[in-house]
Amino acid sequence: MFPLFYGFDPTFIVLIPAILFTFYAKFKVDSTFNKYLGVEASSRKTGAQVARDLLDQNHLYDVPVELTPGTLSDHYDPRRRVLRLSPEVYHGRSLASLGVAAHETGHAVQHSQAYFPLVLRNTIVPIANIGTNLGWYLFLFGLIFNSNMLMIDLGILLFSFSVLFTLVTLPVEFNASSRAMDMLVASGYVVQGQEESGTKKVLNAAALTYVAAAAMAIFQLLRMLLIRGRRND
């Protein structure tokens, strides 16, 4: 009666490519980051120093650079306008450290320039969070109570905003990485050639995690639509 709850659900198969890609992305970012964490940049500047200088070059003197605990916990907080770097990046002088520091600086510059994809992403964050947390619950509630197609459709609609968020995130992240490389090379923190190539590999690997998140969200939505279609049969 309920293949979703009693036995194997065949729609789960559609998630397998996204799951495999997620594992690959995780492996790629970890291995690439760790590899270039051991390659010191010739500029011998720390991630914190580079972030501070690049922020100042973009007239963002009021954006502080803070140390935050954790590994790969680096982020720019648009609400408090603070750039936070993990210990490996904050104190590190490696190509990986400089690449990540410049990437987060790129987000700060995007924010200051009202970069449209970032503005759009920040606008849909509240409803995307609701969609991520509530969408599946409403969807499952509708499945449990057979006749409640309204709940199923509402769950799908809310989850769609979560999918939209992951898609809008892609140009935001790609643009931040592009800005990072331009700033690092123009300022002489990364030398053209092997250093530039290594730093790009770090940023490209990190971008895979966002592509994987978008793929997983899309396939999850596809699975929901398939289950809904089976309910109508």
Q: Which two tokens stand for residue 45?
A: 């500047």
Query: What whole-number distance in Å separates Cα of residue 184 and Cα of residue 54?
Result: 8
Considering the candidates 88, 104, 173, 195, report the single residue annotated as catalytic: 104
Which residue bears the tokens 């720390």?
A: 46
Alpha-carbon distance 105 to 82, whole Å?
A: 10
Cβ–Cβ < 8 Å for 117, 185 = no
SS3 40: strand
Q: Quick check: is 104 catalytic?
A: yes
Task: List the 75-77 sheet strands across, edge first.
Answer: 65-67, 82-85, 75-77
E strand spans, 63-122: 65-67, 75-77, 82-85
Contact 158, 135 (CB under 8 A): yes
Q: How far apart are CA 135 and CA 128, in angstroms?
A: 10
Catalytic residues: 104
